[in-house]
């Protein structure tokens, strides 16, 4: 979004309030100025000069989760997330709260392995403190990327080649998910490439108003992944998928048009491989990430895969944001907690033995308070079923 589109979008708003119906920050505070419409109002006043940039203004603009629920609801199709991104870009120099955090984020993401290495000696102490503060789950351990050089997982009877965009959370918090994905893709006869030149998708920079940095990262990833000669690029993280597809086009005018979330990529390929014998004997509740629900629209596909695998799905009374939102859960801890607790309440009420999501960030956030039931990434359950399927096939051959 450029300045002209930004002004046009704000002037287009008729303040009907349709966008705030399920706004998580409005739900958490019940304050109009923490709602979508309130933010649009503030920006209109900022544009007209009625409101000068202030702490109050920046706080309201930076306290949005960028969940996208509002954009889906606006009858005038205003891309509210893009309005917020642009506003953050314009207001970042007035935003004192994140003044130190911006350069630190730039340094930390420049070489995430090096950052983890530096942090490691202090990990036990700081993790304990952050967990006690509700900022991270108790049992989390940050690790270096498992793939120091470009890793290729070969397969027999290859039918195609897939590159994986791991994403920072899968890479540095849940590395086992990457192996699960490689196993699944190999079992489906895809050769799998993990390029070691992958960098952060850029989402954290955009949300901090650091558009120029986000552009640099988008260029780097485009250069890496567009040259790989693969049939598809698959990511375990819906935020990365949206960033690589939609944001890349907005930021650098180029998009990787073969980027897929795992549910979309796997659905058809799995249906011919899953049989009743490999059934997943589990009742689950699905937690849809905001990007799955509001942008990728993959919720139905995720459920279809689970049902095909034999899972029994029990739905919560409604699907809501987990309250993570990257830096949101750090800067707006109380609001984030209110949202998380409400979401968990809905999930727990279903009474199922386990929860499933397709987003590593949602696993991270939900694990802060959910300690007695497992939260699976979809890929772990797909791997389990496919491995069972293979064992069954081998037993029959014997
Ligand atoms: S739904 Fe659209 S038009 Fe209505 S208040 Fe929200 S942004 Fe404005
Ligand atoms: S993106 Fe989400 S949190 Fe932000 S204004 Fe829209 S609904 Fe509210």
Q: Which residue has the least CA distance to atom 5 on ligand 1?
A: 15
- Give the list of residues 6+ apart from residue 123 with CB closer than 8 angstroms, or none: 141, 142
What is the whole-number distance in angstroms between the Cα of residue 94 and the centre of ligand 2?
21
Is the Cβ atom of 365 under 6 angstroms away from ligand 2? Answer: no
Give the closest residue to 77 by CA, choosing from 14, 158, 150, 147. Answer: 14
Label the pairing between strands 354-357 and 312-313.
unpaired
The token pair that represents 20 in the structure block = 């705030």
Domain boundaries, the chain: 3-94, 269-391
Give the closest residue to 386 by CA, choosing from 235, 187, 218, 220. Answer: 187
The pocket around ligand 1, CB under 6 angstroms, is made up of: 13-19, 36-37, 40, 73-74, 76, 78, 80
Give the closest residue to 162 by CA, choosing from 205, 239, 86, 225. Answer: 225
What is the whole-number distance in angstroms between the Cα of residue 267 and the centre of ligand 1?
35
Q: Which residue has the least CA distance to atom 4 on ligand 1?
A: 16
Domain 3-94 has CATH 1.10.1060.10: yes
Contact (Cβ atoms closer than 8 angstroms) between residue 238 and residue 288: no
Phi, psi of 345 (to 5 degrees): -60, -45
The whole-angstrom separation of Cα 242 and Cα 81 is: 12
Distances 231 to 150, 179, 193, 234 between C-alpha atoms, Å: 17, 19, 11, 10
For ligand 2, pick from 60, 65, 203 the residue to mutate: most ligand atoms within 8 Å of CB: 65
What is the whole-number distance in angstroms between the Cα of residue 33 and the centre of ligand 1?
14
Contact (Cβ atoms closer than 8 angstroms) between residue 240 and residue 201: yes
**Bridge partners of residue 25, in order along the sequence:** none
What is the whole-number distance in angstroms between the Cα of residue 206 and the centre of ligand 1?
23
pLDDT, tens only, 338-387:
999 999 999 999 999 999 999 999 999 999 999 889 999 999 999 999 88
Percent helix, percent strand, percent coil in the chain, to nearest 5: 55, 10, 35
**CATH class of domain segment(s) 269-391:** alpha beta
Contact (Cβ atoms closer than 8 angstroms) between residue 363 and residue 345: no
Res 397: pLDDT: 60
The token pair that represents 23 in the structure block = 């706004």
What is the whole-number distance in angstroms between the Cα of residue 84 and the centre of ligand 1?
13
Label the pairing between strands 190-194 and 151-153.
antiparallel
Distances 13 to 4, 41, 75 between C-alpha atoms, Å: 15, 9, 10
Sheet holding 375-377, edge to edge: 312-313, 283-286, 354-357, 375-377
The token pair that represents 251 in the structure block = 């930021």
Q: Which residue has the least CA distance to atom 6 on ligand 1?
A: 19
Mean pLDDT, each 10-residue run in order, the chain (398 residues): 92 93 93 94 93 91 94 94 96 92 92 91 91 90 88 90 94 95 95 94 94 96 93 96 92 91 93 76 94 94 93 91 92 94 94 95 95 94 88 66
């Amino acid at each position: 979004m450029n300045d002209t589109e930004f002004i046009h979008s704000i002037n287009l708003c008729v303040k009907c309030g349709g966008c705030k119906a399920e706004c998580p920050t409005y739900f958490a505070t019940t304050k109009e100025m923490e709602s979508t419409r309130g933010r649009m109002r503030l920006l209109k006043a900022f544009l007209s000069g009625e409101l000068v940039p202030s702490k109050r203004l920046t706080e309201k603009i930076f306290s949005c989760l960028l969940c996208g629920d509002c954009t889906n609801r606006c009858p005038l199709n205003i891309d509210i997330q893009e309005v917020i991104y642009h506003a953050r870009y314009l207001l970042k120099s007035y935003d004192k709260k994140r003044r130190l955090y911006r350069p630190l984020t730039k340094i930390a993401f420049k070489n995430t392995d090096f950052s983890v290495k530096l942090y490691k000696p202090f990990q036990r102490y700081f993790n304990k403190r952050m967990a006690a503060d509700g900022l991270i789950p108790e049992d989390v351990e940050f690790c270096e990327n498992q793939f120091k050089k470009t890793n290729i997982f070969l397969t027999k009877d290859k039918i195609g080649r897939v590159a994986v965009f791991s994403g920072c959370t899968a890479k540095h918090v849940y590395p086992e998910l990457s192996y699960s994905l490689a196993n699944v893709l190999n079992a489906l006869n895809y050769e799998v490439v993990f390029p070691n030149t992958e960098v952060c998708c850029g989402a954290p920079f955009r949300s901090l108003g650091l558009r120029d940095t986000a552009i640099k990262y988008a260029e780097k990833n485009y250069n890496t992944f567009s040259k790989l000669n693969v049939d598809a690029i698959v990511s375990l993280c819906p935020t990365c998928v949206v960033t690589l597809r939609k944001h890349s086009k907005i930021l650098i005018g180029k998009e990787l048009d073969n980027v897929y979330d795992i549910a979309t990529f796997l659905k058809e390929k799995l249906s011919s491989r899953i049989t009743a014998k490999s059934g997943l004997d589990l009742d689950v509740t699905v937690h849809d990430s905001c990007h799955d629900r509001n942008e990728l629209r993959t919720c139905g596909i995720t459920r279809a895969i689970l049902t095909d695998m034999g899972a029994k799905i029990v739905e919560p009374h409604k699907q809501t944001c987990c309250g993570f939102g990257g830096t949101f859960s750090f800067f707006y801890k109380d609001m984030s907690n209110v949202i998380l607790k409400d979401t968990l309440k809905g999930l727990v009420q279903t009474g199922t033995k386990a929860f499933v999501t397709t987003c590593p960030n949602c696993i991270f956030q939900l694990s802060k308070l959910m300690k007695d039931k497992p939260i699976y990434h979809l890929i772990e359950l797909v791997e389990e079923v496919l491995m069972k399927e293979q064992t069954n096939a081998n037993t029959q051959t014997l």
